[in-house]
A and B are shown apart, each in its own frame.
Chain A
Amino acid sequence: MTHSPHPDANSIPHGEKEDEAVGGGFTRRGVLAGAAAATAAVSIGAIDTPASAQTPEEMIVFVQLSAALTGIAADKLAAPNFAAAVRNSDPVDIKRDYFAWVNQRHPALLRRLLQIARDSQKPPAADPAKAIIDKVNAAPDTKYLGRSIVLMWYLGAWYEPNHLQELERPNPPQPKFKVISSKAYTQGWVWRVAQAHPMGFSEMQFGYWARPPSLLRPDFIGN
């Protein structure tokens, strides 16, 4: 392999460095939805505005639902880029854009998904994420909207639930989707799962590609 052009520790791509800093004494892997909700509550309480369409409680539940379906830990999902020093804020706040996007298109169905997430937190649920997934999968309408929401978090793009249903049939049409916004594209989770960065949006430094990502295993996986 080629020698690193930046042999000193300062050259660790800062996306990865942040992860390490946050990781000190704080294990995020396996964070339970309940604990994450507490974090999210602080965040949402601090920045919520009267103009927003959802209540703070709905937003917490939306993040819990999204975490269960995407498999990404709730605290990371709500604020994928924040470092330890600002753990209780979410300056990017893509969750608000996503909530509004779904709420505008499928308000009633979204309420049903949120209720599923609420019900699944109640005792004696041993594995709330599994409970959410099972209930979402139980009916086609919740299942396909659940998939739309997952694709939105991963890709920053919107695939209509009806279209997803159509795509699963034999001889499907070409997939159609809409990039929600440039912000959504650059916040796509798929890039972090690939241990890379959105194409055209690198926050890393010259030469990083000659070395493997610093974490052998990503630590953002949720419950």
Chain B
Amino acid sequence: MALDEATVRKIAKLARIKVPENEVPTLAEELSKIIEWIEQLNEVDTENVTPMTSMAEMVMPKRADKVTDGNYPDRVLSNAPNPEGPFYTVPKVIE
């Protein structure tokens, strides 16, 4: 499957990555090559094979319902670029 330039622009937008227009053709070509390479997997017959969601042969570890974390708003906000009191702030979100 080849990716066209419109698809590349859409993926970039969904991932919020800014792609200069002159790089779009190169990216389309490179991404297409990657997909083509992965598509070799289509040669394997996976009829009657259940999809694997994990490599680990184990039951998911679980936590008890206990409050063991939090209560450090200063740590949480320590990397925030522009905090206001106990809040993060971001440029106004227009609904």
A and B found bound together:
no
